[in-house]
Amino acid sequence: MRRALLVDLFSTLVPGGNAERDVIHQKMSAVLGVDAAAFSREFAATSYERFTGAYGDLPSTLRVIAQRTGADPTDEQVREATSLRRKLSRRLLNAAPAGTLSALAGLRSAGWRIGLVSNITSETQLQWADSPLPPYFETTAFSAEVGAAKPEPEIYLAACNALGVAPADCVYIGDGNDKELPAAAALGMYAIRTIEHSDSDPTWTGPTVSSFTELPDLIGVPA
């Protein structure tokens, strides 16, 4: 019987904030003196490096991205852009719906062991501790800490090892970004898609919930 739950973070527990991210990125590019389209392109192109901490902290990362567009921002410009990004991450991490927190509490009370598996920058990882979410999780596997990012198996296995469970003992829930669902399923996990915050993988044909609050019932946990 499965008794371990691995959970994605953005667009699963909290909003992904895609529209808000676009607005903030435009502001960041203006602050850095970078063309908005070029900034967005390089930000996306460096996702793996950002998720695995290859460029260091957020200011260093933003400087690298700006330089890849041919810009050379001042320290003050980098500080201002960093502040914009930090404020966005803080807002999103504190936006978990009350129903999600209640569902997590119910799962813990029912004896489920819960771990987080997230493609996350080192900067956002630091902000996690000040969000409402840590008390519900026994372990976290952050990409910037593990040095691997979904869909690589290493990040899932890091969470499994920390919980002392096999992948086949786990339920995995995520919105489907980064090919996370088929990767979890390939390891033997029971993978579930949530579309509460974003329909990130409409090709997924496995089980799907429209709200995190539906998860306990789907996996057989009484209300």
Stretch among 26-35, 104-113, 118-127 having the lowest mean pLDDT: 118-127
Are 87 and 101 in the same domain?
Answer: no
Are 75 and 101 in the same domain?
Answer: no
Are 131 and 85 in the same domain?
Answer: no
CB 139 within 8 Å of CB 159: yes
Averaged over 17-26, what is the pLDDT?
91
Q: Residue 223 above 70 pLDDT? A: no
Burial environment of residue 197 by CB neighbours within 10 A (0 to 12, 13 to 18, 19 or more): buried
How many angstroms separate the CA atoms of 174 and 182, rounded? Answer: 11
Domain assignment of residue 84, yes or no: yes
Averaged over 12-38, what is the pLDDT?
94
CA angle in degrees (0–180, nearest 5) for 161-166-170 = 105
The number of domains in the chain is 2
Q: Residue 1 above 80 pLDDT? A: no
How many angstroms separate the CA atoms of 130 and 112, rounded? Answer: 23
Residue 210 domain boundaries? 4-15+96-218
Query: What's residue 17's pLDDT?
Result: 87
Averaged over 19-25, what is the pLDDT?
91
How many angstroms separate the CA atoms of 52 and 101, rounded? Answer: 28
Domain final residue, candidates 46, 65, 93: 93
Look over the chain and give the mean of its residue pLDDT values, rounded to a whole number.
95
75-83's contacts with Cβ under 8 Å and 24+ in sequence apart are 77/31, 77/32, 77/33, 78/32, 80/31, 81/28, 81/31, 81/32, 82/58
Domain final residue, candidates 63, 93, 123: 93
Domain assignment of residue 223, yes or no: no
Q: Residue 222 above 80 pLDDT? A: no
How many angstroms separate the CA atoms of 29 and 130, rounded? Answer: 27
For 150-180, the pLDDT digits (tens) are 999 999 999 999 999 999 999 999 999 999 9
pTM: 0.94
Are 8 and 109 in the same domain?
Answer: yes
Domain final residue, candidates 74, 93, 112: 93
Domain assignment of residue 120, yes or no: yes
For 26-84, the pLDDT digits (tens) are 999 999 999 999 999 999 999 999 999 999 999 999 999 999 999 999 999 999 999 99
Write the CATH number for 160.
3.40.50.1000
